[in-house]
Amino acid sequence: MLRLQFHFQCFGRLGIFSSWSEDFGDHVINQKALSQIREFEALRLEAYQCSAKKWTIGYGHTKGVKEGDTCTEEEAEAWLFEDCQDVIKGLQSIKFNVDLNENQWAALISLIFNIGITHFNTSTVKKELLKKKWSPVLLSRAWKMWNKETVDGKKVVSNGLVRRRKKEVTLFFQPLEYV
């Protein structure tokens, strides 16, 4: 059963979650995951169609979004939280149980937030992670393959996704800092 832990700090008038974690065994969605997602999804307060022609708002939120929708920063943060919960629930539904450290978990959450649990479930990234001893070279290569977006029905390399995957892989292999 999922146990939720919430830690809230307010920033000015915004009730933005500056620090929160969701318990999933020994793994949490932490600030590093949120920062990655916020950086690459970018806050958009008005609905727009992404390159895949999906209506999107907030930080990459697509559920129930239609043309003309608007949101506040508070709503965008709440949706970000809900969408990250969906990633955790998705990992739970496919019974993904791999021992990852905090940085690795944060990078993985960012990847799945972007590509979706269905794509992750059939990905080479998942296959590599499920190996007892995964190869950093093969895992990096598999991760970086998710660098394409759909434009006019065709898959094309996206500079933004190339940057995102590079940053996620760097975080994945970054040693933990203990204070």
Domain contains 29: yes
- The catalytic position among 22, 39, 41, 149 is 41
Average pLDDT over residues 108-137: 94
Kindly report, residue by residue over 5-24, the tens digit of the pLDDT: 222 222 222 333 333 344 44
Active site residue 50: yes
Query: pTM of this prediction?
Result: 0.82
pLDDT at 137 over 90: yes
Domain contains 47: yes
Domain that holds residue 13: 3-172
Q: For the CA atoms of the chain, what is the radius of gyration?
A: 16
Task: Say whether 71 sits in a helix, a strand or coil.
Answer: coil
- The catalytic position among 39, 46, 50, 73 is 50
Domain contains 153: yes
Could you identify the residue written with the tokens 């943060």?
77
We report the CATH number of the domain holding residue 91 as 1.10.530.40
Domain contains 177: no
C-alpha 37: how far from chain center? 5
CB atoms within 10 A of CB 33: 27
Kindly report, residue by residue over 28-66, the tens digit of the pLDDT: 678 888 999 999 999 999 999 988 889 999 999 999 999
Q: Give start and end residues of each alpha helix (H) in 42-151.
A: 73-93, 102-115, 117-121, 124-129, 136-144
More confident residue, 53 or 70: 70
Q: Count of domains in the chain?
A: 1
